[in-house]
């Protein structure tokens, strides 16, 4: 492996802390609960994309790019952290956003604006096409765009989560803490690909559970195949021989509620529980839904009493402010 030799631009405050959630464990009558605070990665109010962007921006700079171009939903955390990363690295940023453009930007959209990103609004269906098109337009203008796929989920971005898993294993070793299960939200796959690959590389013995926040169970393990592919690209990028098959990737479905970005009882309860028991903020779209899934799994006795369960908080809190009406 040659992770230390890969281009990397420092963006995140690492290592992120691990905390115990004793009041929440008691409230739920469940297993011992821990939280890995990747909402505290620092960049532009934190979140998982800071880790991926360290390697993506490192690669962009190594290639002489002058502009980061990426895509996402209106309240995309990935777009917000990409705009901030571009500002910090002295690059321009162009965002392709889908959804309805509000009159007054709030949450992540307000932050994109403050970081100086240029926004292009489109229909979700032509995201990939628009990304290519915009790249061509910028090149024709003499710019050097670096295109980042949705969620920063490719082999380069996933490297950030291999590093995260190495970081976690060092923290657990130093504290003597054991962990039986790790659960996290999964959507475009880069976080899960990096965690799964990192777990294999470091010899993590517990179980990993990706909690799908935006898919009902797909046939033929399509999403698992995608995650395994990203993990394969990542292994090649970092020089590891480990290869994962789709059957190695565990994704839990059934928590999509009314759909992506729609707040229901599950998210409301989860956000309230975490806030009132532990003073920690979850977002409505990703971490709130994923933690709601974890609460449900505890209630269904998925974990044994003496087990330790870690929730990997992947951030997203700025979106809360765009969902105020659904949360009060």
Ligand X SMILES: Cc1ncc(COP(=O)(O)O)c(C=O)c1O
Q: Hey, which residues are catalytic here? A: 76
Q: Does 261 bind ligand X (CB under 6 A)?
A: no
- Least Cβ distance, residue 135 to ligand X (angstroms): 21
HEC per residue, the chain = CCHHHCCCCCCCCCCCCEEECHHHHHHHCCCEEEEEEHHHCCHHHCCCHHHHHHHHHHHHHHCCCCEEEEEEECCCHHHHHHHHHHHHHCCEEEEEEECCCCCCCCCHHHHHHHCCCEEEEECHHHHHHHHHHHHHHHHHCCCCEEEECHHHCCHHHHHHHHHHHHHHHHHHHHHCCCCCEEEEEECCCHHHHHHHHHHHHHCCCCEEEEEECCCCCCHHHHHHHHHHHHHHHHHHHHCCCCCCCHHHCCEECCCCCCCCCCCCHHHHHHHHHHHHHHCCCCCCCCHHHHHHHHHHHHHCCCCCCCCEEEEEECCCHHHHHHHHHHHC
Q: Does 212 bind ligand X (CB under 6 A)?
A: no
Q: Which of 67, 191, 212, 240 binds ligand X (CB under 6 A)?
A: 191
Stretch that binds ligand X, among 58-66, 85-93, 119-127, 183-191 (CB under 6 A): 183-191
- Least Cβ distance, residue 313 to ligand X (angstroms): 8
Q: Does 145 bind ligand X (CB under 6 A)?
A: no
- Least Cβ distance, residue 293 to ligand X (angstroms): 12
Nearby residues of 296 by Cβ (< 8 Å), 6 or more positions away: 255, 266
The tokens of 260 are what?
Answer: 């992506």
Stretch that binds ligand X, among 27-35, 140-148, 184-192, 235-243 (CB under 6 A): 184-192
Strands 92-98 and 118-122, by their bridges, are: parallel
Residue nearer to ligand X on the CB measure, 67 or 192:
192
Q: Which of 16, 25, 41, 48 binds ligand X (CB under 6 A)?
A: 48
How many residues in the shown chain lie near ligand X by CB under 6 A?
20
- Least Cβ distance, residue 189 to ligand X (angstroms): 5
Q: Does 271 bind ligand X (CB under 6 A)?
A: no
Q: Which of 46, 107, 155, 185 binds ligand X (CB under 6 A)?
A: 185
Q: Which of 115, 255, 286, 311 binds ligand X (CB under 6 A)?
A: 286
Residue nearer to ligand X on the CB measure, 58 or 194:
194
Q: Which of 70, 77, 92, 159 binds ligand X (CB under 6 A)?
A: 77
Q: Does 153 bind ligand X (CB under 6 A)?
A: yes
Stretch that binds ligand X, among 141-149, 216-224, 238-246, 283-291 (CB under 6 A): 283-291
- Least Cβ distance, residue 11 to ligand X (angstroms): 15
- Least Cβ distance, residue 316 to ligand X (angstroms): 3
| Positions that interact with ligand X (CB under 6 A) | 47-48, 77-78, 151, 153, 185-192, 283, 286-287, 314-316
């Amino acid at each position: 492996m040659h992770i230390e030799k890969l281009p990397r631009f420092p963006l995140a405050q690492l290592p992120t802390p691990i905390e115990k959630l004793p009041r929440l464990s008691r409230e739920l009558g469940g297993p011992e609960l821990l939280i890995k605070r990747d909402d505290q990665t620092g960049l532009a109010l934190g979140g998982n994309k800071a880790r991926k962007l360290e390697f993506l921006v490192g690669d962009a700079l190594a290639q002489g790019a002058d502009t980061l171009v990426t895509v996402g939903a209106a309240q995309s955390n990935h777009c917000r952290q990409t705009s901030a990363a571009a500002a910090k690295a002295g690059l321009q940023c162009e965002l392709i956003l889908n959804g309805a453009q509000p009159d007054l930007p709030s949450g992540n959209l307000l932050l994109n604006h403050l970081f100086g990103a240029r926004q292009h609004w489109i229909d979700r269906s032509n995201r990939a096409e628009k990304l290519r098109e915009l790249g061509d337009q910028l090149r024709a203008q003499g710019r050097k765009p670096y295109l980042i796929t949705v969620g920063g989920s490719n082999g380069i971005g996933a490297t950030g989560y291999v590093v995260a898993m190495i970081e976690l294993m060092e923290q657990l070793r130093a504290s003597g803490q054991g962990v039986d299960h790790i659960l996290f939200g999964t959507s475009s796959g880069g976080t899960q690909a990096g965690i799964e690959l990192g777990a294999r590389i470091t010899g993590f013995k517990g179980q990993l559970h990706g909690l799908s926040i935006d898919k009902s169970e797909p046939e033929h393990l399509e999403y698992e195949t995608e995650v395994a592919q990203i993990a394969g690209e990542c292994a090649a990028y970092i020089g590891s021989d480990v290869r994962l098959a789709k059957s190695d990737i565990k994704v839990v479905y059934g928590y999509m509620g009314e759909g992506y970005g729609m707040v229901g009882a599950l998210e409301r309860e989860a956000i309230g529980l975490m806030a009132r028991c532990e003073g920690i903020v979850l977002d409505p779209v990703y971490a709130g839904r994923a933690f709601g899934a974890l609460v449900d799994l505890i209630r269904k006795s998925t974990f044994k009493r003496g087990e330790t369960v870690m929730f990997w908080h992947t951030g997203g809190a700025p979106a809360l402010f765009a969902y105020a009406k659904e949360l009060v």
